[in-house]
Amino acid sequence: MNKKVRDFVKDWFPRVIPWAVLVVGLYFVVIRWFGPRMSLMPGDLGDARFNNFVLEHFFQWCTGRISSYWDAPIFYPNPNTFAFSDAMLGSAPFYVLLRLAGLDRDSAFQGWYLLGFVLNYLAAAFVLKRLKLHPLAISAGAFLFTFGLPVLAQAGHAQLFYRFGIPLTCYYMWEFSQRPKLRALTLAVCWFAWQFALSIYQGFFLSLLLMPLLVMFPLTEARGKLKPYLMFWPAKLKQAWSNAGGSQRVLNGLGLLAAAAGLMVVLVPYMRVAAQYGFRRQWFEIITMLPSWKSYLLADRSPFWAAVSRQIPNQTMRHEQQLFPGIAAGVLILTGLFWKTPNKNRQIAFFNLWAAAFLVLVTFSINGASIYQLAFSLPGFNSIRAVSRIILCMLWPLSVFIAVVLHQMVVSPHRKVFSTSLAIIIFCLLASESMLFKPVTYPKSLGVERLAALQAKLPADLPPDAILAFNTDNNEAWYLTELDAMLLGQESGFAIMNGYSGNFPAGYGDPLSSCKQIRRRISAYLNLTNSVSDKNYAQLARRVVPIGLSDCGSK
């Protein structure tokens, strides 16, 4: 091999590594889940189809098929029903583009699902590259954040997958703390707002992650002195303002206002609905979803860890508590704790590790007791039911830490061949754990068959203002038929009295098996809207078409 070829390989091969890892991850971790000819859907017939319903609702609103965005025709005639769960406003436009490109709803959902992994990886790799880490370290950190075992364990909850705002927000806040410029602050706030639009859950968890980071960043300059520590952020803001020109101040001010306005657009409908319906989680609901020590050892679908994981018994909501980050990640975390070799990124690495530890501490449950309960009455805290999903945000600081550790192993001048070889082996283990993960999927054809079976039950010549109410009390989970009804209503354009979501109005939350329930649901709506009268009741009851219910002689 001549010198030019060697130099070319030396210069370009490292740059290819992160891209190659992305392609390998996408194919062997995600695309293989779709099966031959993309015939399988990720997740199960429950939340996966609900997320597809949410995205299709946005598409129909964008294309003018429906006029009211927040008043989805489910739980009909209750208002603002689309704000009962995460609307995924930040990622739904990607789905719309795929639909406009000609894909059907299932294929567009697969494309949207895949794109989430791509954007998460690119955001993580971008930040780690800015920390000037080795390409192998960049790949490892981005891979863990994007394809880590806890992410794959949540495969059915696709609304959680778009998380690219997390690394970008944290990075630009770090950048602002070290080189205060208004641009960095504006970008941090914009990515923060977008993350809320991507996922309310992950936006909330990002808020918790920023708390310890913003407390620790001043330690880079305070050096144990109280006054410099307390004045750190005011001084940075003053410095950034002073260094900016007039046009920069105007542009960044407008950017901050736009981000704040966007955040309000996302959050206000949820606050309005919570007040309107009195939605509030009870502590007994939350406690079953707080992580315990068992949670961080659970990975039942991991090929290498399942034998250990299955020995851990009696974990409530076990499917939501699969938080083990993997053997390779665990090895790198332990290695980093005891590796004393100086590294310019060591400080930021440990800031991130302690931030992850803070999230563990705040949400940790010991026999039902948790620090989280102290904050439960604060706004937002009592709206988050599945607190264990915080692991998807926590993976970012852990990814930074393991990337820095792996970087040090590769560039260490001591026993270089051994440490580099070990780093490669650990990386291969990290990738293998995810590539061999056993996912949950269902055939596209099954969803189509279920809708066709429900369609066959519809009476002929339905009036255009009909409200369909399907019997969902059968030999399977009741919410599956509720989702069938929702999807059928979305396809046909009929209003549906059935519904399934993150919250339920009065009269909902159990199978619809009797026309007595229809009467109660109409009465509950009239009470909610202060419109109780015999005339209003009769107008609604006349429109209801019960399907599969046998006790509907008189409405």
> Residue 469 — φ and ψ, nearest 5°?
-130, 110
Picking from 464, 89, 433, the residue whose alpha carbon sits closest to that of residue 267 is 89
> How many domains are there within the chain?
2
Same domain (yes/no): 429, 451:
no
485 — pLDDT class (breaks 50, 70, 90): very high
> pLDDT of 107-142, one tens digit each?
999 999 999 999 999 999 999 999 999 999 999 999
Higher pLDDT, 314 or 495: 495
What does the pLDDT average to over 348-363?
A: 95
Same domain (yes/no): 428, 456:
no
What does the pLDDT average to over 351-355?
A: 96
pLDDT of residue 29 exceeding 70, the answer is yes
Q: What is the pLDDT of residue 344?
A: 77
Look at residue 14 and tell me if it is in a domain.
yes
Strands 467-470 and 495-496: parallel
555 — pLDDT class (breaks 50, 70, 90): very low
Mean pLDDT lowest among 82-96, 216-230, 436-450: 216-230
Same domain (yes/no): 112, 27:
yes
Residue 109 and residue 47 in contact, taking contact as beta carbons nearer than 8 Å: no
Between the alpha carbon of residue 159 and those of residues 117, 179, 534, the distances in Å are: 12, 34, 41
pLDDT of residue 482 exceeding 80, the answer is yes
Can you say whether the dihedral through the CA atoms of 172, 177, 180, 182 is positive or negative?
positive
Look at residue 69 and tell me if it is in a domain.
no
Look at residue 47 and tell me if it is in a domain.
no
Q: What is the pLDDT of residue 167?
A: 98
H or E segment to which residue 442 belongs: strand 441-443
What does the pLDDT average to over 392-416?
A: 90
- Name the domain boundary from 435, 456, 489: 435
What does the pLDDT average to over 471-481?
A: 86
Residue 91 and residue 120 in contact, taking contact as beta carbons nearer than 8 Å: no
Q: What is the pLDDT of residue 317?
A: 83
Q: What is the pLDDT of residue 55?
A: 96
Same domain (yes/no): 473, 424:
no
What does the pLDDT average to over 302-313?
A: 90
Number of C-beta neighbours around residue 458 at 10 A: 16
What does the pLDDT average to over 413-430?
A: 86
CA distance 360 to 166: 17
Look at residue 516 and tell me if it is in a domain.
yes
Look at residue 264 and tell me if it is in a domain.
yes
Look at residue 42 and tell me if it is in a domain.
no
Same domain (yes/no): 148, 269:
yes
Same domain (yes/no): 425, 456:
no
> pLDDT of 182-239, one tens digit each?
999 999 999 999 999 999 999 999 999 999 999 999 988 877 788 888 899 999 999 9
Q: What SS3 string covers 351-377?
A: HHHHHHHHHHHHHCCECCECHHHHHCC
What does the DSSP assignment read for 260-318? HHHHHHHHHHHHHHHHHHT----HHHHHTTS--TTGGG--TT-TTTHHHHTT----TTG
Q: What is the pLDDT of residue 3?
A: 62
Look at residue 55 and tell me if it is in a domain.
no
> pLDDT of 143-167, one tens digit each?
999 999 999 999 889 999 999 999 9
Number of C-beta neighbours around residue 301 at 10 A: 18
449 — pLDDT class (breaks 50, 70, 90): very high
Same domain (yes/no): 400, 454:
no
Q: What is the pLDDT of residue 382?
A: 78
151-169 burial, b at 16+ Cβ within 10 Å, e below that, comes to: bbbbbbbbbbbbbbbbbbb
342 — pLDDT class (breaks 50, 70, 90): low
Residue 41 and residue 442 in contact, taking contact as beta carbons nearer than 8 Å: yes
Q: DSSP letter at 459?
A: P
Segment of 41-45, 192-196, 307-311, 414-418 carrying the highest mean pLDDT: 192-196
Same domain (yes/no): 230, 199:
yes
Same domain (yes/no): 414, 488:
no
Same domain (yes/no): 374, 507:
no
Give me the helix-helix angle, 200-216 and 346-363, nearest 10°. 130
Look at residue 51 and tell me if it is in a domain.
no
- Name the domain boundary from 435, 453, 481: 435
Same domain (yes/no): 410, 524:
no
Q: What is the pLDDT of residue 109?
A: 96
- Name the domain boundary from 389, 405, 435: 435
H or E segment to which residue 470 belongs: strand 467-470
Same domain (yes/no): 353, 255:
yes
Q: What is the pLDDT of residue 4?
A: 61
Averaged pLDDT score across all residues of the chain: 90
Higher pLDDT, 106 or 382: 106
Residue that is written with structure tokens 């609103």 in the block: 61
**Domain ranges, residue 468:** 444-547
What does the pLDDT average to over 327-337?
A: 93
Q: What is the pLDDT of residue 535?
A: 93
Can you say whether the dihedral through the CA atoms of 358, 363, 364, 367 is positive or negative?
positive
H or E segment to which residue 133 belongs: none
Between the alpha carbon of residue 323 and those of residues 46, 67, 298, 358, 391, the distances in Å are: 21, 41, 6, 16, 6
